[in-house]
Each structure stands twice: as structure tokens, then as C-alpha cells.
Chain A
């Protein structure tokens, strides 16, 4: 058992290292720009005074390592700096929206994970059947759709008929029930897109294992197809399936951006798009860091879980 803890410790350490490198990349990307960032942002017509003021605000007069250090220590204390566009502290802008985005992602995950695992296992069980072929073609089709296409089709179909709202408004008085109802369409959009991916990957992970000699052995022991899949294939497919789930939950983060824009959902994604349009660099950096951290943490969690579920690693001689 000490072996496994050491392994998990190594993974955690690696995760921290990755986060550190990401922070370097996100911060350092601004340094890639040839010439003067302040002039680039304000354009040729800017006066020397405004340029100097902007440089002061961005701390451009300090050397890069010092600025990085200040930024990083600030971030670690929850201080992301000040938005250039609104002059408000970024943590204030981000706070409520982060919760909204997490809610949407969890909502979609709660719908898609059970659904896609079920569909993936069934498709693997009934391999080459009509169900398998149809679900495969359908999944491939949905994967190929841009998120905004899926979103608009749903709006046309479900919002036009008045079943669900096509815009999401969140106020202080919104109850969880209201939220579940009004955020149904964005969550469904994300669910559709992610389920297609997840189900195909789950099916592939299981079918990959179905060629193993121990699966043939189970069949030759007279076990039913259901038992062969559930008891013999799925436990060995756990690690790949966990990775599939993590990968797709991480994919939700990307999908969230577009879906939030379509449904005017007050989340981080929309904030980020606004910030990109305004070239509000500190805000973009802050949100990129948040999204990337979520992504890294998910992968880290998957890594640790698949280590723990591997009997070869858990029970070493």
C-alpha cells in the first residue's frame, strides 16, 4: 500500500507542477507580443500620458519576473487584479459567474454521464446490432455538429413551442427549481454533445477488451453476455472509462463558452468572450487560469481514480 500512496503523491506533485507551468504560459503569452503591449491595446492614436497610465496600471514598468511573482501571489490569495474595461476587481466579476458556470457544467454532467455510460455499455453488449449501428451513426452526427447548431435546433424545437425558455436570467430571487427549468436547454445542448463523445469512447473501451482471452474464458465458462460485460469487461474498462469521463467533463468547459453565449447565460464563458472582444487581458488571463485549473484537476482526479481501481497497482506482491 505504501507504493500506491507514493504513486498518488507523485501524480499530485505532477499536477501542481503542471499548474505552475500553465500559469507561466498564461502569464508569459503576453510577453510574446513584439513591441509595446500598451500601444498595441490603445492603438496608434494614444497619447503618451494614456500610454504611461496604462503601463503603470499593467505594471509594465517592472521587469517580467517581478510582475509574474506579484500576479501569482495575488492569484493564490484570490486577487486576480483589476479589469481594464470596468476598473472593478476581477474576483468580484468572476465570483458569481463561476458558480453559475459550475452549476451548468454539473447539471450537464449529471444528465450525460449516466446516460452515456448506459448507452455505451449497451452498444458494446449488442455490438453490430441495429441499435449499435444507429446509435453510432447518430453519435457521430451529433459530434460533428457545432454546439451553436445543436443549441439553435433545440431553441427552434423546444423554445418556439414555449416549453422551455431560450434565455436564462438569474437574479437573487431565482430558486434552484427555477434554475433547473430555465437552464434546461443549455444543459441539454451540452449533454447531447458530450454524451455522443462519451458513449462512443465507452463502447470502444469495452469492445477493445472484449477481444481479450479472459473474456473468451468467461464465455466458455457458460456466463451470460450480460454477466460477461458487467462482471468481466467493465471492471477492467474502469480506468479507460474514468479517463473518458474526465476528458469529456473537461470538454464541457470548452463547450460552455459557446453555449453560454447562445443562451445569454451569465457565466464565465460569456464574461471571457466579452473580455476577449475588449482585449481586457487581466480578465482573460484570470478566466483562462480558472478553466485550465479545472481541466488539470479533473485529469488529476481521473488519474488517481484509475490508479486506485487497477488491481495490478493496488495488490502488488
Chain B
């Protein structure tokens, strides 16, 4: 029953946030972008609002948080009451504070990892599509073989070998996800490389650098941007899963995945506190997915 009620309340709240965000975007957008926001679905405006809120919380974490990140303040598993509005965890740290710092740590690490994976994968993918020939074949077959190992399994294998620290976590996940970015960037670039305007530029005698910078990248931006959003979700979920399994970000750093793990026992007593960090993860991925879905639909709609 409570689940049903909270689902309904949540949906209603999301609906209101979506409406408000859409109205705000329409009012704030410069005139030439206004048509884009006019028919944006509520899911997308809700997503944008949520992403914005996460960014604000992450940036202002020390200002907003009522206590220090690792401060042990009292008894463990205190119930929801002032001054610990969301209670305390198993070491007696303030749950709300750790949730707020988690926005900075978990999202920050996921973002850095995605950026790393993206730069490596996209650069190599576009280059391979442009170069063609045996270098493209060699690199692509290698990536195919690496992709034949499921991502989480491969990450686990690498973490076993290199040990678990934040740095190895970032490098391992970035390496694994770079293969996926490579594949997409290559296929996007291959679609562009066969265009007559690329042939014309090659016949003109343009070098590879010019081809990538002026002819390919501007046309590849839309799919690559969407891929960045999707890839962020994957990376974010992988890191959270690894942290949840005790192999990712380690305490005392506040991190949502490990917070779920640490406090999971509460679930069996019907306490939803451990679901809060999990929900925080879910909410952000939902938001990013909604925005990406909207952009992808816009892109495919424009083609027709």
C-alpha cells in the first residue's frame, strides 16, 4: 500500500516538476531556440530539471550539507528526526550529509570516467573510419574480441588483477567502455565518410586533420552527444554496481553504491533508508535517459 501511495505521489511530483521546468525553459530560452522547447515532452523537461538540481548539489555540497562528510555524530541507525532528517548510518554518520556528498563523489567519478572513455573511444573510432585499410581492420577486430567479454565480467577480471582503488576503477571502466564508444564513433564516422562531400574534400587534397575537424566532427556531434549521455548512464550504473559489490569506491568516501551495501540490512526491517542512495542513482539515470531519448527522437524526426 505504502509503495503504491509513494509511486502515485512521486509521479504527481515529477509531473509538476516537468511542467514547471518546461514553462521556465520556454520563458528563459532565446527566441531562436524556443520552438525546440515548445513541444518538448514532460519527461524531458523533468529530466533537465533533475540534472540541473544534481549539478547544483554536487557543486555546493560543502555549503548545503549540514554535517561533515565522514563525521561520526551519534548512534547508528537513528530514525528520521531532526537534526538527522534522514537518520544515521551504521557508523552513526548523517545520512543526508552523505547523500549530498555522494552527488559530488559518485557523479564526479562517473563523469570523469565517461569523459576519459569518450575521448579515447571517439578519437580512435573516427580515425579508424577515416584511415580504413588494415589499421582499421586490426583495431576493430581487437575491439570486437574485447567486446565479446561482458563488460562487468571484464571489469571484475581487471579489478582482480590491478586491485581496487578509485584510480584503477576509473581506468578500468574507462577502458572497457571506450571499446563501446569506439564502435559507435566508428560506425557514425563511416556513415559520414562515404558522403560525396568527404570524397570532394579528399579529392581537393585535404589532410586528415582538416577532414576530422571541419567535415566529420560537425556532422557527428548529434549522435556523439546522445552517446555521451547513454554512456554516462552505463558508466554510472557500472560504478555503482561495483561499489555495491564492495569493489568500487571505498568508505569513508561517501558514495551511493557503497551506502546501499553498508545499510542494506535495514531493508529486512522494512526501513527504506538504504533505498535513498539507490533512488538517487536511479533518478539521475532516468533523467539523463529522458533527455537523451528526447534528443534522439528530435534528430530522427528531423530526418523524415
Contact = CB atoms under 8 A, between A and B. Distances in A.
A–B interface present (Cβ within 8 A): yes
Interface of A: 18, 21-22, 25-26, 29-30, 32-33, 40, 137, 140-141, 143-149, 152-153, 155-157, 160, 166, 250-251, 253-254, 257-258, 261-262, 272-273, 275-277, 279-281, 284-285, 287-288, 291-292, 295-296, 299
B275 A276 contact: no
Interface in B124-161: 144-146, 148-154, 156-161
Nearest 9 A/B pairs, CB to CB: A144-B285, A149-B278, A144-B286, A21-B145, A254-B152, A145-B282, A292-B149, A284-B160, A291-B153
Interface of B is mostly: helix
A95 B121 CA distance: 38
B281 A146 contact: yes
Chain A's interface: helix, strand, loop or mixed, by majority?
helix
Considering residues B233, B244, B293, which has the most beta carbons from chain A within 10 angstroms of its beta carbon? B244
A140 B286 contact: yes
Contact of A284 (B157, B237, B241, B275): B157
Contacts of B158: 29
A21 B150 CA distance: 14
B223 interface: no
B149 A153 contact: no
22 contacts: A22-B145, A22-B148, A25-B145, A25-B146, A26-B149, A29-B158, A140-B43, A146-B237, A149-B282, A156-B3, A254-B152, A254-B153, A257-B153, A258-B244, A272-B156, A273-B156, A273-B247, A277-B247, A280-B160, A285-B157, A288-B153, A292-B148
B154 A288 contact: yes
Contacts of A257: 152-153, 156, 245
A241 B68 CA distance: 51
A152 B148 contact: no
Nearest to B144: A18
Contacts of A273: 156, 245-247
A281 B162 CA distance: 11
B260 A291 contact: no
A152 B240 CA distance: 15
Contact of A148 (B153, B260, B270): B260
Interface of B: 3, 43, 144-146, 148-154, 156-163, 233, 237, 240-241, 244-247, 257, 260, 264, 267-268, 270, 272, 274-275, 278-279, 281-282, 285-286, 288-290, 293
Contacts of B286: 140-141, 144-145
Contact of A153 (B3, B156, B289): B3
Contacts of B163: 40, 279
Contact of B267 (A26, A144, A152): A152
Nearest to B278: A149
Contacts of B148: 18, 21-22, 292, 295-296, 299
B150 A144 contact: no
A63 to B, nearest CB: 19
A101 B293 CA distance: 33
